[in-house]
């Protein structure tokens, strides 16, 4: 875990210690208690913003009153509180649009990623959703976390994947392309980003085709960046089209082994030849 994540988690923990694990149900009151006023305005280009005057301890959270989804509005408020409380962010924050709030692409500005993580941690603390996280992956389970926490489906899935001990991942796709993904520590594999493989249900979503309402098997090679896959290896996928974002959110689950076995699986180390090693290789090759 890097220093940035440590800082965010530390601030979130302090917030939860002070205001409790169910702080989401009274977040507007808490915002006022810590020095923030809240205003709703008619806006088209942003969901929320933090307004501050340099040197003054208080500020104003501006929310887009046209946002009707409760979970999205609550997450936006938590996100802006994150900007207010996290170190070195008070004077960096600007208007936050739908592509800033509740998204986790590594291409996003660090302050936005930090504010998203803070929001996820205070709205879905591990102690609150721990029982759900221990259950086998299922889209209904993630929807239950979102409903219980009063937050968005995307944020709930991110938090579920982050805390899960199952081999799972979430993928965000837009305009027929996978844009970013988040995998659990146990997943341990890279996901192919770029144009979606036609064998995926995510691809079918963009083609307006019917897709299963539960996890179903698709070829593992349709998602995984791996040259050592077993023949006919499968990965479980469930994908959902999100009309507001014009994007698809996919849940992937590696229930069975997908790679071919090699000599390392038997616990025997092969001699490694340094003459065959190059800086671009993913691992040391075994000596032939």
Residues 134 and 215 both lie in one domain = yes
Q: Is the pTM of this model over 0.85?
A: no
- 272 inside domain: no
Residues 111 and 157 both lie in one domain = no
- Per the structure, how many domains does the chain have? 2
Higher pLDDT pick, 153 / 260:
153
> pLDDT, tens digit, for every residue of 100-138?
676 778 788 888 889 999 999 999 999 999 899 999 999
- Non-local (6+) Cβ contacts of 122 within 8 A are 12, 15, 16, 23, 24, 78, 81
**Which range among 136-140, 218-222, 228-232, 276-280 shows the weakest confidence by mean pLDDT?**
276-280
Residues 204 and 217 both lie in one domain = yes
Residues 118 and 222 both lie in one domain = no
Q: What is the pLDDT of residue 65?
A: 87
Residues 119 and 134 both lie in one domain = no
On the CB side of 167, CA atoms within 13 Å amount to 14
The mean pLDDT value for 172-191 works out to 94
Dist. CA 202–CA 16, nearest whole Å: 36
Higher pLDDT pick, 228 / 196:
196
Highest mean pLDDT among 94-98, 208-212, 222-226: 208-212
- 276 inside domain: no
Q: Residue 68: is its pLDDT beyond 90?
A: no
Residues 85 and 159 both lie in one domain = no
**Which range among 83-97, 108-122, 228-242 shows the weakest confidence by mean pLDDT?**
83-97
Residues 240 and 156 both lie in one domain = yes
- Quickly state the pLDDT bin for 30 (edges 50, 70, 90): very high
Give percent of the chain above pLDDT 90. Answer: 60
Residues 176 and 83 both lie in one domain = no
Residues 248 and 151 both lie in one domain = yes
- 14 inside domain: yes
Q: Which of 103, 256, 253 is nearest to 181 (CA)?
A: 103
Report which DSSP code applies to 96: B
- 260 inside domain: no
**Which range among 24-28, 181-185, 230-234 shows the weakest confidence by mean pLDDT?**
230-234
Task: State whether the Cα torsion 175-179-185-187 is positive or negative.
Answer: positive
For residue 101, what are the domain limits?
3-123
Q: What is the pLDDT of residue 193?
A: 94
- 278 inside domain: no
Q: What is the pLDDT of residue 273?
A: 46
Q: What is the pLDDT of residue 256?
A: 84
- Angle formed by the axes of helices 70-85 and 110-123, nearest 10°: 120
């Amino acid at each position: 875990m890097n220093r940035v994540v440590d800082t965010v988690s530390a601030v979130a923990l302090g917030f939860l210690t002070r205001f409790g694990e169910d702080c989401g149900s009274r977040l507007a009151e808490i915002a006022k208690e810590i020095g923030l006023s809240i205003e709703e305005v008619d806006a088209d280009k942003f969901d929320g913003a933090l307004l501050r005057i340099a040197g003054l301890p208080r500020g104003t959270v501006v929310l887009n009153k046209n946002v009707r989804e409760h979970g999205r509005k609550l997450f936006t408020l938590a996100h802006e509180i994150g900007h207010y409380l996290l170190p070195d962010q008070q004077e960096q924050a600007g208007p936050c649009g739908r592509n800033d709030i509740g998204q986790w692409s590594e291409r996003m500005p660090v302050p936005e990623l930090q504010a998203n993580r803070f929001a996820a941690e205070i709205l879905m603390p591990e102690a609150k959703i721990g029982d759900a996280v221990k259950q086998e992956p299922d889209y209904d389970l993630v929807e239950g976390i979102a409903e219980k926490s009063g937050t968005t489906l995307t944020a709930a899935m991110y938090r579920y994947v982050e805390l899960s001990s199952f081999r799972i991942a979430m993928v965000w796709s837009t305009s027929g392309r996978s844009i970013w993904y988040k995998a659990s520590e146990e997943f341990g594999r890279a996901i192919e980003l770029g144009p979606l493989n036609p064998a995926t249900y995510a691809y079918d979503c963009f083609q307006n085709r019917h897709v299963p309402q539960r996890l179903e098997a698709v070829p593992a090679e349709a998602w995984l960046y791996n040259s050592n896959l077993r023949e006919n290896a499968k990965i479980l996928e469930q994908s959902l089209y999100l009309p507001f974002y014009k994007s698809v959110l996919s849940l992937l689950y590696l229930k069975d082994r997908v790679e071919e076995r090699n000599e390392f699986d038997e616990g025997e180390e092969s001699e490694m030849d340094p003459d065959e090693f190059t800086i671009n290789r993913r691992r040391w090759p075994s000596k032939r």
